[in-house]
Amino acid sequence: MENRKNPSICCSVEQCMHNLCTEHFCTLDQVHIDTHESDPSQKECVDCASFIKRQNFC
Ligand code: SF4
């Protein structure tokens, strides 16, 4: 089945297998946003926990 972009989730992380690289959108219906900090204070503290490393090229 062809992956379709979720127009509500813009993402430029091409290294993720869920990314539609040609358009820079996520293809999942929803994503889990998380933090690796105990008290996040800036955007660098926040991560997409749905990221999975892509095994092939975009
Ligand atoms: S799962 Fe997260 S990192 Fe991967 S394409 Fe979707 S929003 Fe981007």
Give the confidence band of 8 by pLDDT, cuts at 50, 70, 90.
very high
32 contacts 46 by C-beta, under 8 angstroms: no
Atom 5 of ligand 1 has which residue's CA nearest to it? 19
Instruction: Return the amino acid letter for 48.
Output: C
Rounded CA separation 31/46 (Å): 13
* pLDDT score at 2: 62
Whole-model pTM: value is 0.92
Domain boundaries, the chain: 1-58
Instruction: State if residue 11 touches ligand 1 by the CB under 6 angstroms criterion.
Output: yes
Instruction: State if residue 50 touches ligand 1 by the CB under 6 angstroms criterion.
Output: yes
Express each pLDDT in 10-49 by its tens digit: 999 999 999 999 999 999 999 999 999 999 999 999 999 9
Instruction: State if residue 21 touches ligand 1 by the CB under 6 angstroms criterion.
Output: no
